């Protein structure tokens, strides 16, 4: 199985008529994803290479029974696009847009929690999600993913998401689903949300988790793994050589005092029984060893 999306997921691309939405939306369609509609206010009645475009998500849902949307619009338009999809009843929203102001992300997050608790938001500022051979929503290359499981991947880092997929695929180890949650200060889906889904998925037998410095998401994940998770987890924390007091990479990768350091996260995960790697390549090698030990 896969988590969140599969071969039956029907996707509308919000911003399909823009350059990024068109490029990635059509690329997802070429992978096999069911891209059934585009949404751009004022462009309803047109199409993009045969994909009909609507003025609103509600119209796209009425015409095509949309299960998920792919938000590929500029930062100023993204909060409204996310909320429009939620208000229309879309259960899964993927937003790749970066540079959304933190206050806007906080507002969207609060609205979703309060008014749309059944809507899941992946992102913003993330590579998206791919269930190899079934569905790809976002900017991840399908060429580096291998269908057939048994590993689930969840990552804060976009680039390291791709490396994790590549490392495993090169060793013939397939993936059930790879979820890039993004590294902004106010994300939608968290490590714990994704770990819960992998724990419930019978075909996911092991999980690779990639974190980074800043925040407490990895420590929260460690507590979940320690108390609730039965499947083996291999983790890598990026930023182990970051200079003290320096902001690195994502807006969420801010270390405050002793909190959010790579060392603290690695210790928390190790104490939860997670196998912690020193670098991304070692993480892949350790994951392969775990899979082989499962038989």
Look up residue 241 and give its DSSP letter.
Answer: T
Q: φ, ψ for residue 142 (rounded to 5)? A: -70, -20
Q: Which of 226, 222, 236 lies closest to 269 in space, CA to CA?
A: 222
Contact of 122 with 109, CB cutoff 8 Å: no
d(CA 83, CA 78): 9
d(CA 207, CA 179): 11
Burial of 185 (0-12, 13-18, 19+ CB in 10 A): middle
- The three-state secondary structure class of 116 is coil
d(CA 216, CA 120): 21
d(CA 62, CA 66): 8
Contact of 113 with 188, CB cutoff 8 Å: no
Q: Is 24 in the active site?
A: no
Contact of 86 with 61, CB cutoff 8 Å: no
Look up residue 144 and give its DSSP letter.
Answer: G
Q: Which of 171, 143, 167 lies closest to 155 in space, CA to CA?
A: 167
Q: φ, ψ for residue 57 (rounded to 5)? A: -65, -40
d(CA 40, CA 15): 6
Find the catalytic residue in 24, 64, 166, 250: 250
Which residues does the annotation mark as catalytic? 250
């Amino acid at each position: 199985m896969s988590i969140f999306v599969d071969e039956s997921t029907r996707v509308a691309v919000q911003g399909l008529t823009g350059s990024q939405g068109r490029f990635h939306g059509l690329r997802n369609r070429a992978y096999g994803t069911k891209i059934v509609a585009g949404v751009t206010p004022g462009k309803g009645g047109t199409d993009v290479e045969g994909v009909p475009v609507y003025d609103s998500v509600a119209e796209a849902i009425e015409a095509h029974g949309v299960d998920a949307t792919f938000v590929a619009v500029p930062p100023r338009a993204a909060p409204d696009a996310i909320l429009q999809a939620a208000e229309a009843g879309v259960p899964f929203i993927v937003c790749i847009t970066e540079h959304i102001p933190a206050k806007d992300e906080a507002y969207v997050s609060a609205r979703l929690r309060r008014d749309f608790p059944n809507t899941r938001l992946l992102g913003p500022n993330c590579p998206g999600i791919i269930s190899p051979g079934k569905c790809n929503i976002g900017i991840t290359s399908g060429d580096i993913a291998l269908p057939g499981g048994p590993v689930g991947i969840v990552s804060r880092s976009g680039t390291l998401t791709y490396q994790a997929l590549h490392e495993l695929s090169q060793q013939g180890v397939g993936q059930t689903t790879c979820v890039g949650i993004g590294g902004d200060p106010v994300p939608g889906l968290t490590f714990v949300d994704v770990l819960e889904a992998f724990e419930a998925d019978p075909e996911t037998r092991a999980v690779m988790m990639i974190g980074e410095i800043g925040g407490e998401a990895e420590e929260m994940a460690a507590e979940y793994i320690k108390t609730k998770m039965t499947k083996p987890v291999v983790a890598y924390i990026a930023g182990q050589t970051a200079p003290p007091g320096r902001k690195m990479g994502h807006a969420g990768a801010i270390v405050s005092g002793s909190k959010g350091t790579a060392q603290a996260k690695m210790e928390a995960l190790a104490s939860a029984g997670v196998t912690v790697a020193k670098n991304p390549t070692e993480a892949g090698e350790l994951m392969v060893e775990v899979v082989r030990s499962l038989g």
